[in-house]
């Protein structure tokens, strides 16, 4: 048995007794658990602020010494993870990767203890010694991790907070971020440091999350200079464009097996809506809680797809003769006062190549074809944030 002391204003003594009775009913469910007993009660006056916080008043407090049992949870269970639902995104926090919590039966309304179906923010997973799994709601979870009786009864304020948890469901504000503007900030963070970083104070390096948030705050700043500084940074960003990153996210992750692992679930749920027919659509907003995995997803793509990493950079120096390999993005016939020619836009791992030519090979080249071109750089173009290197007299190998 544990002995501890708690206190509360005397005018809520009846509520305190009701709370004590409720806790004792819970304790009766545990093996070898005894009830909480009041050993002694004394009273004292304390000076506290009034409701207007303008002056001190004397309030009578009851000081109660209690004796409570040590065994305050169901035996044989261990906590293995939690499943959070926010903004329609299912995120799994697991301490054991061997236990897969991606089952679609794990939903907001489920609690295997009380079987009460109601809206919840999160549920928790507990595994029994026999291998069976229970999904438990917040209110019932303390009976599996252990009742903290001292905390439950410690002060009047904790008492009110605890009662509010049990009787009310409060729907807190969910912060979301537009996907395009958020990708812009991840691009800037990546350009600043291509290595994905968690918090690293020892080397004075900011985490990736901190860097992205820093740029995000700049982008929405009401200060003109700060907002303009962000725009200049974005205009000079040398990474792949936001629209291309969105295409990469879809290509790389939309067909992942969401049930293969807890991590796959978090990745797919953070990035995509799932339609009734099972198809996935890239989200237009990012929920605050999953920004970390969203940052990682983009860093992972840029670091493992080097052909895209510098696609928005100029190549070489004007006057240089270069040879580049790439994939034809655009083939377009153009007519002007000089006659007909073909616009060829080539995507390479160094950047975008653009050229106009009347050469026969251009008329017989198709979009998507992989080719090698040699030409002389005569201009570095920047059209709506898209950098391209223009060459003349292109020769196809």
* CA-only gyration radius of the chain, Å: 31
Which residues lie closer than 8 Å to 203 by C-beta, 6 or more apart?
A: none
Domain ranges of the chain: 1-72+147-173, 77-145, 175-310, 321-396
Which of 388 and 206 is assigned the larger pLDDT?
388
Taking residues 44-51, what's their average pLDDT? Answer: 77
Q: 283 and 272 in contact (C-beta within 8 Å)? A: yes
| pLDDT confidence of residue 192 | 80
Summarize pLDDT for 149-187 with one digit per residue, the tens.
666 555 333 444 443 343 333 444 456 788 999 999 999
Mean pLDDT, range 322-331, rounded to an integer: 86
Residue partners of 337: CB distance under 8 A and separation at least 6: none
Q: Which has more pLDDT, 308 or 396?
A: 396
Tens-digit pLDDT profile for residues 93-104: 887 778 888 888
CATH number of 1-72+147-173: 3.30.110
Q: Give CA–CA dist 163/19, Å, rounded.
A: 8
In sequence order, what E strands does the chain have? Answer: 2-9, 37-49, 56-68, 77-86, 89-94, 122-128, 133-137, 176-178, 272-274, 280-282, 285-287, 321-336, 339-348, 352-357, 370-383, 386-396
The CA distance from 191 to 193, in Å, is 5
User: Would you state the pLDDT for residue 164?
Assistant: 38
Give the CATH superfamily of 321-396.
Nucleic acid-binding proteins (2.40.50.140)
Closest CA to 391 of 357, 365, 340: 357
Measured distance CA(5)–CA(134) in Å, rounded: 34
Work out the pLDDT band at 228, boundaries 50, 70, 90: confident
Which residue from 275, 288, 261, 278 is spatially nearest to 89, judged by alpha carbons?
288
For residue 99, what are its two tokens?
Answer: 């236990």
DSSP 40-78: EEEEEEEEEE-TTSSSEEEEEEEEEEEEE-S--S-TTEE
* Burial of 181 from C-beta contacts in 10 A (0-12 / 13-18 / 19+): middle
**Averaged confidence pLDDT in the chain:** 81
d(CA 221, CA 110): 42
Return the axis-axis angle of helices 291-304 and 208-219, rounded to nearest 10°.
Answer: 110
| Average pLDDT estimate for 298-305 | 79
pLDDT for 159 equals 41
Nearest to 140 by CA among 73, 42, 212: 73
Lowest mean pLDDT among 125-134, 147-156, 358-367: 147-156
pLDDT in tens, 182-220: 999 999 988 888 888 876 654 556 788 888 988 988 888
Residue 4 has pLDDT above 80, yes or no: no
Q: Does the model's pTM come out above 0.75?
A: no
Least confident span in 41-55, 326-340, 376-390 = 41-55
> What's the pLDDT score for residue 378?
93
Query: What's the pLDDT tens digit per position in 5-21?
Result: 877 788 888 888 888 88
pLDDT band, residue 130 (cuts 50/70/90): very high
- The predicted structure's pLDDT at residue 318: 92
32 three-state secondary structure: coil
Higher pLDDT, 27 or 199: 27
Q: Which two tokens mark 212? A: 């992205």
């Amino acid at each position: 048995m544990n002995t501890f002391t708690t206190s509360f204003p005397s005018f809520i003594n009846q509520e305190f007794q009701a709370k004590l009775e409720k806790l004792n009913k819970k304790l009766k469910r545990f093996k070898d658990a005894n009830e909480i007993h009041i050993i002694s009660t004394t009273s004292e006056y304390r000076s506290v602020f009034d409701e207007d916080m303008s002056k001190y008043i004397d309030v009578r407090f009851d000081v109660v010494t209690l004796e409570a049992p040590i065994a305050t949870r169901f035996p044989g269970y261990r906590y293995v993870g939690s499943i959070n639902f926010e903004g329609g995104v299912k995120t799994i926090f697991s301490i054991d990767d061997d236990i897969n919590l991606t089952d679609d039966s794990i939903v907001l309304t489920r609690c295997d203890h009380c079987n009460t179906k109601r809206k919840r923010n999160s549920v928790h997973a507990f595994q029994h010694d026999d291998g069976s799994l229970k999904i438990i709601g917040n209110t019932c979870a303390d009976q599996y991790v252990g009742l903290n009786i001292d905390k439950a009864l410690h002060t009047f304020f904790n008492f009110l907070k605890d009662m509010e948890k049990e009787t009310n469901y409060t729907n807190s504000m969910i912060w979301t971020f537009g996907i395009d503007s958020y990708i812009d900030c991840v691009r800037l963070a990546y350009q600043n440091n291509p290595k994905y970083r968690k918090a690293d104070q020892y080397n004075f390096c900011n985490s990736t999350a901190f860097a992205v948030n820093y740029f995000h705050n700049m982008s929405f700043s009401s200060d003109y200079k700060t907002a303009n500084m962000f725009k200049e940074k974005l205009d000079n960003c040398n990474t792949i464009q936001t629209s291309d990153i969105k295409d990469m996210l879809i290509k790389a992750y939309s067909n992942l097996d969401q049930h293969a692992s807890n991590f796959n679930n978090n990745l797919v749920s953070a990035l995509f809506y799932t339609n009734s027919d099972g198809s996935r659509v890239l989200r237009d907003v990012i929920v605050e809680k999953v920004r970390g995995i969203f940052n990682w997803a983009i860093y992972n793509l840029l670091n493992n797809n080097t052909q895209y990493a510098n696609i928005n950079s100029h190549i070489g120096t004007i006057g240089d003769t270069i040879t580049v390999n790439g994939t034809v993005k655009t083939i377009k016939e153009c007519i002007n006062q000089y006659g007909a020619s073909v616009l060829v836009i080539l995507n390479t791992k160094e950047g975008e190549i653009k050229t106009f030519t009347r050469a026969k090979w251009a008329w017989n080249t198709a979009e998507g074809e992989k080719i090698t071109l040699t030409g002389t750089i005569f201009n570095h173009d920047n059209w709506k944030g898209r950098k391209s290197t223009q060459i003349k007299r292109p020769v196809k190998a």
